[in-house]
Each structure stands twice: as C-alpha cells, then as structure tokens.
Structure 1
Amino acid sequence: MSIPQINISDYDYQLPTGRIAKYPLENRDQSKLLVYKNLHISHTRFFNLPEQLPHNSLLVFNNTKVIRARLEFFKSTGARIELFCLEPYEPSDAALAFQSLGEVQWQCMVGNQKKWKEGSLFATSQTTQGDIQVVATLIKKLSDGAIIQFKWDDAAITFSEIMEGMGQTPIPPYLEREAEDIDTERYQTVYSKYQGSVAAPTAGLHFTDEVLETLAQRNISLIELTLHVGAGTFKPVKTDTIDQHEMHTEHFEVTVNALRQIAEHDGPVIAVGTTSVRTLESIYRAAILLSQNRPHQNVQQWDGFEQVSDMPKAEALKLLIRHLHSQQQPAFKASTSIIITPGYQFKVIDGLITNFHQPRSTLLLLIAALIDENWKAVYDYALNNDFRFLSYGDSSLLLR
C-alpha cells in the first residue's frame, strides 16, 4: 500500500466570509452551474444541467433524508442541554431505530455537558398525537460524545415522530446562525427518502422536479443509493499531512438492481455529490476485497490505495451481485471510511456534480483527485465570477 504524502497546506485558498451562502436561493435550480469539460471552464444556470451532460450519462443520487437531529433538553434545575443525535446505537439499524416505540439509544454529541453531571433530562415533543414527555438518560460516556437512552410515555409513538415534534434541522456550523423554518424544506433534497443523515448531500439541493423530468426526457438514466451523512463530513483536517488524518465512517446501502444498472451501463457514470462518489468507489473496493476472500463490509480509509486491481468495474460489481444472490440479500449494506486524494485511481465514476468546498478539507482533496491541479483554476473562476460557496451555494459539473 502506498499512502500518499500530501501537505494539506497545498489545498488552501482564501474564502471570504461574504462568499459563504447563508441562505438558499428562492428557486433551487436558479443557482449557477460551473462546467469543467475538456479542460475548459464555463458557466450557466443549474436548470441547464441536462444539456451539459455527456450523451448516455448515468446519474447516481444519494436519497438519504436529513433528520431533525438537534434535540433541546432541560435538567430539573432548568439548565439547557443540547443532544445532537449522530447515529443509532440500540437498535443500530437506522430504519429500526426510527420506528422504535417507547425507548431507543443513540450516540450523541452533548452540548453544555459540563452542566450535566448526573440525573435525567426532560423535554416535550409536540407530536400529531399531542404533547409527549421525553426523558434522556446518560448510559455511557465516549471520547467524542455519549450513548443516550431516550424514553417517552406513549408506546404508540415512534422515535421518528418524537424527533419531528421537537428536533431542529442540523444546518452546518459555518452558517453561523440558528436553523429557521426555511431550512426544514430547503436543507433536504426533493428526492430524499430514507432518514438517517445529520447533514444534507448538498449537491442534490439544486435539483427540482422539473430538472429531473427533463433529464428523464433526454434519456439520462437516474438511479439512487443511500449513504447516511454523518457529522464527520464537517471534520476539519488538523494535521499537517493527510496521512495523519483519521476519516469518519458512514453507512451505505446499494440495491442489487442499482448495482446491476451501474455494472451494465456503457456510458459515463456521473455522481451527484461527494457522498455518492465515496459510495460508488467503495462498492468497487468492497468487490475487490471479496474477490480476495477478505472482509468486505467495512471499507477502510486507505483501501483505495492498495495495489490497484485491473478487474473492470462490470466484472467486480457482478461478482458482488452474485455474492448477494447467494446470501439472498436484496442490497449491499456496508460502511466506509474511504479517503480519496490526489493519486487515487477512480474505478466507477467519470464525473461529479458538487458544490464548492471548504479550504483544507478532505472534500477539496477529492476534487483535486478528480481533476488534478485544475481544481485551482476552477475555484479561481468561481471566486472571480461571484459564485456562492458551501452547502447553500452554487454548483459545478466536473468531468474527467
């Protein structure tokens, strides 16, 4: 394995605070779209995306749904404690956790934790069935949070309904504002389906039903997968070199039907968002691990930098499909902490639709892996042409 030695300082740029979009545009598809194609940079509006895509493209979307993960509780003394739900603990399956009745455990970040030494916390969830009292109890402290038990006094109400009735949308910290009513709808893609993310797959925020319809009319193939985005997506790189940085782990699911479509597609595969990239490249790496009779359901950080296999994408994914059939599994469920930096050899994707990312971030390294040093020209162009940056900012189409 050849782990890249990369100085994170080489992936820095000046991002003025005023260029960070703190609110979404009134219309999703009116955002600017930078187009990087054949080493040429231009721009248009996002609603023109269908005509910018290569012929016979396959677009891959992440259909995860952002949950109202920020929960406000109070001690009996009145002190406020915020619990930020990161991922389910018991049950650990997201679907089961959201459908839990009466009790569930989650791994959480705890705000104002110094004021919570002992005892339970209390809150009220305003559900469609009326006000429900919720009690939070600290089960176990962790190095980066805690395991929290939530119990409520109506066993007919699911935890999903509890969150909807009391939670706030977890907008990114760099927006430097509290969540507002507009975020409930706009920090969510129009095609979101499966609850589990604490951050939106923001490349998808620009799509409207009209754009999706136009794509279908142009015979652009559209498929979906699911990766639940964790808070680690905002984890800054604090080390001088990327080999010292520890990537976060996220869980994903890709159906056998989706795997088959990707395997059999003979045109460009375009990922909608970096989360889709990480999932698509992870399923290839998982297939290679499977071919080597190695554990394959937890793709590790540097698996993409092992000696690159010559196995074609189609052959690798069909191997994975046969394995799933033998196990009578309708989908491949796994986790990934894969990192994609310059030096990475892409095996599945040919292009990417994505927003503009923070300086010195692993997401910017992924962009550089895709288009090499040309990332600097792309970001200079965006800065010089009044593009809006980060989650609620403008978009780009980057083709290898």
Structure 2
Amino acid sequence: MKLSEIKYEVPEELIAQYPLEKRDESRLMVLNRKKQSWEHRIFRDVVDYLQEGDALVVNETKVFPARVIGIKDKTDAQVELLLLRQLEDTMWEVLVKPARKVRVGNRIQITNDFGCDVIDNTTSGGRVVRFDYNGSDFFEVLGRVGTSPLPPYIKREADEIDKEYYQTVYAKKIGAVAAPTAGLHFTDELLEKIKAKGVKVVPIVLHVGLGTFRPIKVEDVTRHNMDSEYYEVPEEAAHDINEVKLNGGRIIAVGTTTVRTLETVANADNLAKASSGWTDKFIYPPYQFKLVDGMITNFHLPASTLVLLVAAFAGKDFILKAYQEAVKEKYRFYSYGDAMLIV
C-alpha cells in the first residue's frame, strides 16, 4: 500500500487543544462496516451498541511525566530530556534536545538531588542515561519535576488540567509516555453501566511509546518499522477474552494500542495467548484480524500508522469517506478530540 492513498486535510480549527470537561460528552461517530453507514451520537451512547456477552478490552497503562528540563555540566546549557523506556533499574533510553550538544560523558543536573550521566548513543538518535536521585521511588521523584509530553499538534505547554485528563480513569500500570487516547472518553459511571449490561471489561497493558506516533517517511508503507513497546496480557485477561469469543460474543478493543496487543497475542485458533514482552506489530491494509470484532478509536493524523490500522479494520475507502464526513460535521480531531466506534 502507498502512503499517499491515506492522506486527507484536517482544518487547524478542528484539532482539539483542550479536553472536554465531561469526558463522555464528546461526540461519537458509529460506523457499521457491513452496511457501510454511519450515525452521529454522543460518546456515552456507546453503551447502546454493546451487547450482553461482549468483552470491552481496555489498556490500563498509566502515563508518567516523561519530559524534564536539566542543565548540562560545564556549559550550563538547558537540555530537554524525554524519557522513552526503562532499560534496567536507573538506566533509560531518552531523547534529548538539542541533541547535537549532548554527548557521551556529559552530566545533566535536573534538581540538586536528581540528575543523570550520558553513557551511550542509540541507533535512533537518542541517548542512554543513568539517573541518580535521593528517594526510594524513581517515579515519585520524577513526578515532582516532570511534565506530560503533549503531542506537537497541541500548541501549548502541559498544565494542571492535563494531569487529570491526559490519563484514563482506569490507568493503573505506569509506563506510557503518551495516553491511549480512545480510553479518555470513559467515566467510572459509564463503565459501570457497561458492566451492568453484561459486558466484561477486560484490562490488558501496552505502554505507549513515541513510536506509535513516529511519522512514516516512506511511500511504500511495508518498509516502515514500528518501535517496540512493552505489553502484558495476563492469564485472567486471556481466559476472559477466549470465553467471550468461544461463546459467540464480540471483542471490542478500546484504541489502536489495544488492537495491536490483541493481534500480537492471537494464536492460530484465533484465541488469545497469555504473554508479556515487546511488540512491534504494524497493521495496515490488507490485514485479516484474528481477535478484534469492533474498535473504539479517535480521529487520527493523516498518513499515520494509527489511521492505517483503522483503514485495515474498516476498509480504506470507507474510512476516508467517514473522515470527510467528520470534517464536514466539525468533529474534534486527535488526542483530546472526538471518537469513533467501528463495528
């Protein structure tokens, strides 16, 4: 497939800069693949499209404040660090800005009792650093000085509102540098309504990294390589998913991260195998889905790995028509934008 086949225009004014005060009052476009039709609803109406015996699979990763500012030794130059992944204990892979000024051997001081030494370069242009700090919990220390690294299309600095809203209400396992944004629309009350309808809510984990959003720079999408991200599908989750599948229920995935995780652990019998590890699963048309029967997702950047996955699930032509409709109806796009349910 060619990258140019999945491009479209999104007016600047439709790119959401802030979340709605009430998560479940975002708009919801409901796409029916069989009928090739759509409806316009409010997100809390999603419960009307779920059925007793279905499973709603959610990604309970938790975003940590991965962006920190430090001072480089000797020159006192300001350096921005974006933590990408924990390699071991206090050793992390990071992106640095400005990269040309940060070399192996440099010391970066973030606060009086929190800093790091640059110990290696990465093949992708990042750095490997080793942190040292006073305290028993690294993420607790980081929480006092770091901020959420909002996507570049949000043209403002992260503030207090993002600490609450750039996190799902069911986030539990810390490790993501970006939110699984399809899940931002759920409230505790809406989840209780869904459970009361006889729908299993099944948690899995994929720690979202920047690779999810890394631009595709090749016209032939098969030549694009996804960065690896850590996932966990526990025994209980695999059991619940398989029970629903074998009983004729549907697996509704919340977000592209959940879709990629489920398709990673799908076996030859189209059932889920409990496992954990790293996945670089890249889904684009054509693709035969093994586990996922429906998905909830936001409206994504043109020519991105995210919209390629959605196009593989809904059909390229259908999804492009739906996006044109969304622009016409002035849906809000991207991380803090509106949602789509595809069944």
Pair 1:151 & 2:132 matched: yes
Helix, strand or coil at the partner of 2:289? coil
What are the Cα deviations for residues 152-175 of structure 1, in whole angstroms up to 9, with x where unaligned?
Answer: 2x2x43111111011011111121
Provide the aligned C-alpha RMSD in A: 1.4
Contiguous gaps of at least 5 residues in structure 1 = 1-5, 92-103, 125-131, 288-310, 321-330
- Identity %, equivalent residues: 40
Q: For 2:202 and 2:102, locate their aligned partners in 1 and report how far apart those are by CA, in whole Å.
A: 45
Q: How does 1:144-293 map to 2 (within 5 A)?
A: 144=124, 145-152=126-133, 154=134, 156-265=135-244, 266=247, 267-284=249-266, 287=267
Q: How does 1:288-307 map to 2 (within 5 A)?
A: none
Q: How does 1:77-88 map to 2 (within 5 A)?
A: 77-88=75-86
The offset of 1:39, in angstroms, is 2.1
Structure number with larger C-alpha Rg: 1
Correspondent of 2:110 among 123, 127, 136: 123
Quote the residue 1:375 is aligned against. Answer: 319
Quote the residue 2:333 is aligned against. Answer: 389
TM normalised by structure 1 equals: 0.81
Contiguous gaps of at least 5 residues in structure 2 = none
Q: How does 1:335-354 map to 2 (within 5 A)?
A: 335-354=278-297
The offset of 1:55, in angstroms, is 4.3
Tell me how many residue pairs correspond in the alignment: 334
Q: For 2:21 and 2:76, locate their aligned partners in 1 and report how far apart those are by CA, in whole Å.
A: 39
Helix, strand or coil at the partner of 2:150? coil
Could you tell me which amino acid in structure 1 is paired with residue 199 of structure 2?
I
Could you tell me which amino acid in structure 2 is paired with residue 381 of structure 1?
E
Correspondent of 2:38 among 35, 41, 48: 41
Correspondent of 1:313 among 249, 256, 270: 270
Pair 1:108 & 2:87 matched: no
Could you tell me which amino acid in structure 2 is paired with residue 33 of structure 1?
L
Quote the residue 2:115 is aligned against. Answer: 135
What are the Cα deviations for residues 222-279 of structure 1, in whole angstroms up to 9, with x where unaligned?
Answer: 1100000001111111111101211121110011011011111120110000000000
Helix, strand or coil at the partner of 2:91? strand
The offset of 1:176, in angstroms, is 2.4
Could you tell me which amino acid in structure 2 is paired with residue 348 of structure 1?
L
Q: For 1:244 and 1:113, locate their aligned partners in 2 and report how far apart those are by CA, in whole Å.
A: 26
TM normalised by structure 2 equals: 0.94
Q: For 1:119 and 1:246, locate their aligned partners in 2 and report how far apart those are by CA, in whole Å.
A: 30
Q: For 1:110 and 1:218, locate their aligned partners in 2 and report how far apart those are by CA, in whole Å.
A: 48
The offset of 1:61, in angstroms, is 0.1
What are the Cα deviations for residues 9-59 of structure 1, in whole angstroms up to 9, with x where unaligned?
Answer: 000001111111011111111100001123220111111110122443210
Quote the residue 1:299 is aligned against. Answer: none
Query: Would the aligned equivalents of 2:69 and 2:80 in 1 still touch at CA under 8 Å?
Result: yes
Correspondent of 2:67 among 65, 70, 82: 70
Q: For 1:370 and 1:119, locate their aligned partners in 2 and report how far apart those are by CA, in whole Å.
A: 46
Q: For 1:15 and 1:332, locate their aligned partners in 2 and report how far apart those are by CA, in whole Å.
A: 38
The offset of 1:355, in angstroms, is 0.2
Q: For 1:68 and 1:246, locate their aligned partners in 2 and report how far apart those are by CA, in whole Å.
A: 26
Q: For 2:162 and 2:13, locate their aligned partners in 1 and report how far apart those are by CA, in whole Å.
A: 20
Pair 1:362 & 2:343 matched: no
Helix, strand or coil at the partner of 2:258? helix
Correspondent of 1:21 among 10, 16, 19: 16
Query: Would the aligned equivalents of 2:298 and 2:340 in 1 still touch at CA under 8 Å?
Result: yes
Q: For 2:50 and 2:324, locate their aligned partners in 1 and report how far apart those are by CA, in whole Å.
A: 23
Q: For 1:339 and 1:113, locate their aligned partners in 2 and report how far apart those are by CA, in whole Å.
A: 28
Q: For 1:222 and 1:47, locate their aligned partners in 2 and report how far apart those are by CA, in whole Å.
A: 16
Could you tell me which amino acid in structure 2 is paired with residue 70 of structure 1?
R
